[in-house]
């Protein structure tokens, strides 16, 4: 039913990771390059540092949590449908956060064996 990219981003720009407005811009750009439809955006700037945010998209969500003191960001891009490109979004996040290195793990979500009677909906 969906693709869930777990994006680990290391050795990023401290200043970007601590900039709520820049993180908002990057999340919007990420949704756009992924071909998704933005429904809502919520961000929180922490003191003394760090930003968490989520973009609710029609296809699921894009989220980030930053640790500027460690120059690290943890991101999720969860999409459904076959007309979106979450990998392009991951590439965009990595580039815009000025990552020194990164890793992306893809998890297939909602793999259902419809031949298994135990998984079928019973009225």
Q: Residue 60 catalytic?
A: yes
63 in active site: no
User: Of 4, 12, 34, 60, which one is the catalytic site residue?
Assistant: 60
User: Smallest Cα–Cα separation from 57: which of 19, 84, 82?
Assistant: 84
Could you give the angle at the alpha carbon of 19 between the alpha carbons of 4 and 42, nearest 5°? 50
Q: Pick the catalytic residue from 13, 14, 61, 80.
A: 80
Residue 10 has φ and ψ, to the nearest 5°, of -115, 160
- The continuous run of DSSP H or E covering 87 comes out as helix 86-96
Do residues 18 and 53 lie in contact, with contact meaning Cβ atoms separated by under 8 Å?
no
* 3-state SS class at 64: strand
Check if 34 is active-site: no
> Which of the residues are catalytic?
60, 65, 80
């Amino acid at each position: 039913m969906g693709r869930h990219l777990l994006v680990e981003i290391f050795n990023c720009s401290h200043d970007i990771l601590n900039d709520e407005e820049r993180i908002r811009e990057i999340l919007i750009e990420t949704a756009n390059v992924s071909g998704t439809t933005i429904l809502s955006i919520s961000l929180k700037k922490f003191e003394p540092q760090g930003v968490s945010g989520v973009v609710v998209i029609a296809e699921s969500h894009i989220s980030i949590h930053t640790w500027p003191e460690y120059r690290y960001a943890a991101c999720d891009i969860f999409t459904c449908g076959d007309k979106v490109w979450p990998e392009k979004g991951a590439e965009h996040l990595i580039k815009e956060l000025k990552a020194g290195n990164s890793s992306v793990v893809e998890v297939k979500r909602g793999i259902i064996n419809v031949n298994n009677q135990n998984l079928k909906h019973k009225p």
